[in-house]
């Protein structure tokens, strides 16, 4: 067998771990187990490539890889950022701030087109995480869509086509944290070890993110023009035949609870963005005095 030092030893087999992870993720609609299966299949390939190792050693390689990943400081920073960001969104949701903000904006809705535009704008407001965006906007705007005769298919399209794209373009999101971490690792392997190299590369890549940019543009074009195509057009025609009832308030079926304050959503977001801007200015103004903090910033944003 070829030694592990030979970079050409695997060939097409090197694609098997990611392909396995992707296929299992699509089949199971899960993430963790397919990724673990992909890592383990890679461990099997490594063990098989070494003549001195057996298949049982695959479990050792797998365990060592997981242990090294969990102990990596950059990975821990990314995990901490994701957890704290999720906690902030959770507080905003539990406090009713996001729902109150959307309800306040919903007062401007007067037609099907304005309802679509408002759903799209609401999708841009939750730029921290695509899953939080989908859950919050989809759940909150569902009754608004029903009031103006929008189909559930159109609601799903508007929400999904703003959730992931806006998270992929935002500097403060769980997507950005993961991508910057991966970029930093790749640059380090290439010999580029500047603390802010990953963050700089992420910013430079934004103009070339054609899918999220075009997805957001298409959402607003469809919302403003009211044009639909194919199966979506049929779903909208069927839904439009139902009598809309704008007089029904969104909260009619909700249980009684204290008044919701939209500031409970605005203040956390403003505070987070202000802290980010301040940190960027401080670390950029005196880079020689605080290069380390720039590295922390680019791995936690």
Q: Which two tokens stand for residue 124?
A: 């841009």
Confidence label for 207 from pLDDT (cuts 50, 70 and 90): very high
For position 19, what pLDDT does the model report?
93
Q: Is residue 283 pLDDT above 70, yes or no?
A: no
Q: Which one has a higher pLDDT value, 254 or 219?
A: 219
Cβ proximity of 56 and 27 under 8 Å: no
Same structural domain, 227 and 161: yes
Residue 254 has pLDDT above 60, yes or no: no
The dihedral region occupied by 50, where left means phi > 0, alpha psi between -120 and 50, and beta the remainder, is beta
CA triple 60-65-67, angle to 5 deg: 95
Question: Is 228 inside any structural domain?
Answer: yes
Is the same domain home to 97 and 196? yes
- Give how far Cα 112 sits from Cα of 46, 143, 238, Å: 57, 13, 14
Among residues 28, 46, 71, the one where a domain terminates is 71
Task: Please say whether the beta carbons of 264 and 92 come within 8 A.
Answer: yes
> How does residue 229 score in pLDDT terms, banded at 50, 70 and 90?
confident
Residue 5 falls inside a structural domain: no
* Pair (215, 108) in one structural domain: yes
Q: How confident is the model at residue 277 (pLDDT cuts 50, 70, 90)?
A: low
pTM: 0.60
Shared domain check, 286 and 138: yes
- Judged on CB neighbours under 10 Å (0-12, 13-18, 19+), 153 is middle
Burial of 27 per CB tally in 10 Å (0-12, 13-18, 19+) = exposed
Percent of the chain past pLDDT 70, that is, above it, reads: 79
Q: Are residues 79 and 63 in the same domain?
A: no
Residue at 2 is within a domain? no
The single-letter DSSP state of residue 2 is: -
Q: Is 200 exposed, middle or buried (0-12, 13-18, 19+ CB in 10 A)?
A: middle
Residue 199's pLDDT band (boundaries 50, 70, 90)? confident
For the segment 88-140, what is each residue's pLDDT rounded down to a tens digit?
777 877 888 777 877 777 777 778 888 888 888 888 877 877 877 777 777 77
Q: Residues with Cβ < 8 Å from 154, sequence gap 6 or more?
A: 116, 145, 228, 232, 235, 236, 239
Task: Write b or e for each residue in 269-278: b if 16 or more Cβ atoms lie within 10 A of its Cβ, otherwise e.
Answer: beeeeeeeee
Range of the domain at 124: 74-300
In a domain, 124, yes or no: yes
pLDDT tens for 12-35 read 788 889 999 999 999 998 888 999
Do residues 162 and 26 share a domain?
no
Q: What span, in angstroms and rounded, lies between the C-alpha atoms of 39 and 62?
A: 7
pLDDT band at 5 (very low <50, low <70, confident <90, very high): very low
Residues 55 and 109 in one domain: no
Same-domain status, 52 and 164: no
pLDDT at res. 286: 55
Q: CA angle 274-278-284, nearest 5°? A: 145
Number of domains the chain contains: 2
pLDDT > 50? residue 293: no
Same domain as 260, residue 151: yes
Which of 71, 89, 106 is at the close of a domain? 71
The residue among 68, 70, 74, 43 whose CA lies nearest residue 56 is: 43
Same domain, 34 and 113: no
Calculate the average pLDDT of the chain: 77
- Quick one: 218 and 285 in the same domain? yes
């Amino acid at each position: 067998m070829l030694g592990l030092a030979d970079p050409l030893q695997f060939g097409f087999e090197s694609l098997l771990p990611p392909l396995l992870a992707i296929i299992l993720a699509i089949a199971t609609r899960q993430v963790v187990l397919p990724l673990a299966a992909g890592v383990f299949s890679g461990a099997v390939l490594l063990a098989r490539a070494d003549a001195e190792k057996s298949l049982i050693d695959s479990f050792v390689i797998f365990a060592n890889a997981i242990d090294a990943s969990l102990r990596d400081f950059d990975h821990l920073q990314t995990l901490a950022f994701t957890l704290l960001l999720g906690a902030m969104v959770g507080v905003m949701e539990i406090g009713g701030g996001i729902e109150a903000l959307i309800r306040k904006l919903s007062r401007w809705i007067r037609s099907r087109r304005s309802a679509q535009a408002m759903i799209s704008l609401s999708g841009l407001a939750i730029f921290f995480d695509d899953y939080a965006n989908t859950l919050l906007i989809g759940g909150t705007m569902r009754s608004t869509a029903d009031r103006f005769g929008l189909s559930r298919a159109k609601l799903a399209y508007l929400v999904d086509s703003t959730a992931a794209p806006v998270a992929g373009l935002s500097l403060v999101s769980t997507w950005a944290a993961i991508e910057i971490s991966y970029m930093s690792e790749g640059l380090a392997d290439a010999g580029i070890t500047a603390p802010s190299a990953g963050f700089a590369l992420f910013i430079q890549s934004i103009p070339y993110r054609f899918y999220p940019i075009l997805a957001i543009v298409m959402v607003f074009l469809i919302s403003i023009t009211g044009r639909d195509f194919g199966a979506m057009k049929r779903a909208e025609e069927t839904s439009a035949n139902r009598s809309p009832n704008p007089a029904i308030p969104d909260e009619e079926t909700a249980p009684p609870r204290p008044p919701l304050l939209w500031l409970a959503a605005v203040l956390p977001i403003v505070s987070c963005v202000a802290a980010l801007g301040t940190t960027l200015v401080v670390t950029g103004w005196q880079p020689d005095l605080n290069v380390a903090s720039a590295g922390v910033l680019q791995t936690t944003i």
